[in-house]
């Protein structure tokens, strides 16, 4: 029986691999195969030639999403903003925020953006922040910070995260990367919202972080942030509110 199950699994995986490869190949035009490099090419490509090719590929990619039918993948404010951002990036593309003594204006801009967000979320002078590369890194940084806090303040060596089943996949990554246990709590089947009492029952002496979303990634539902934050404050546990897609709205 086990051999048959393994054979069936292998068969399905192979079918999936072949289909994924076909789907991928269908997305690429012939120029992608003509300009395929698996090792460093022996001869250089001119800047003009390379830009021509890249522009062609960019136009081809844009056709896959610019009709407004791509969900959760593209974040932009129109072609004018994209052109403006491209110019801004060109001015600071070699900057390194780790060295504010060399790039003081990058540090200035980061500080002001953080201050704007604190104001939007009604923070005060006790609030602080930093800019990450995106949502996944933000969740990783937060999870590590609370893991370390639990270890340093309460000697918690088997840290746990309590979160609804709808929580962003990055929490699974964080748990894996940082040796944490992710305790998932079911949501209400009708409302899609997690029950605060269910979250409370999932808390143990090893809980270092309670996480929730506003809105969550799968359904765009606002979870009971204030109640869960109050619960975390009452238990002296870290709390992360994941402002996922549309969180600033």
pLDDT at 41: 87
Predicted pLDDT of residue 224: 95
For 207, the 3-state DSSP assignment is: strand
Please, what is the end-to-end C-alpha distance for the chain in angstroms? 53
Mean pLDDT of 177-201: 96
224 contacts: CB under 8 Å, gap ≥ 6: 193, 194, 196, 212
Per-residue tokens: 248? 């600033």
Q: Is the peptide bond before 215 cis (omega within 30 degrees of 0)?
A: yes
Number of H helices, E strands in the chain: 9, 4
What is the rounded average pLDDT of the residues 108-122? Answer: 93
In the block, residue with structure tokens 């897609």? 245
CB 207 within 8 A of CB 188: no
Q: Which of 18-22, 58-62, 65-69, 181-185 has the weakest average pLDDT?
A: 65-69
Q: Are 173 and 125 in contact (CB under 8 A)?
A: no
So what's the pLDDT on residue 243?
A: 86
CB 229 within 8 A of CB 213: no
- Cβ atoms within 10 A of the Cβ of 213, count? 27
Please say whether the beta carbons of 225 and 239 come within 8 A: no
Beta bridge partners of 239: 210
Using a cut of 0.85, tell me whether the model's pTM lies above it.
no
Residue 245 banded pLDDT, cuts 50, 70, 90:
confident
């Amino acid at each position: 029986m086990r051999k048959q199950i393994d054979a069936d699994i292998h068969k399905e995986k192979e079918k999936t691999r072949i289909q994924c490869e076909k789907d991928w190949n269908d997305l690429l035009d012939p120029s992608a195969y003509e300009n395929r490099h698996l090792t460093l090419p022996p001869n250089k490509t001119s800047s003009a030639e390379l830009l021509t090719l890249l522009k062609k590929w960019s136009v081809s990619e844009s056709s896959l999403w610019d009709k407004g039918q791509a969900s959760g993948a593209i974040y932009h404010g129109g072609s004018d903003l994209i052109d403006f951002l491209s110019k801004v990036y060109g001015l600071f593309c070699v900057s390194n925020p780790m060295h504010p003594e060399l790039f003081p204006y990058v540090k200035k801009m980061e500080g002001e953006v953080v201050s704007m967000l604190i104001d939007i979320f009604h923070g005060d002078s006790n609030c602080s922040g930093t800019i990450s590369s995106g949502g996944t890194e933000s969740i990783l940084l937060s999870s590590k910070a609370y893991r370390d806090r639990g270890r340093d303040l309460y000697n918690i060596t088997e840290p746990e995260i309590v979160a609804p089943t709808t929580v962003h996949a990055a929490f699974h990554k964080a748990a894996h990367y940082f040796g944490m246990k992710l305790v998932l709590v079911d949501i209400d089947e009708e409302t899609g919202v997690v029950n605060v009492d269910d979250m409370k029952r999932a808390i143990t002496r090893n809980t270092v972080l309670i996480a929730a979303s506003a809105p969550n990634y799968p359904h765009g539902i606002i979870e009971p942030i204030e109640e869960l934050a109050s619960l975390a404050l009452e238990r002296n546990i870290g709390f992360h509110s994941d402002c996922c897609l549309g969180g600033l709205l």
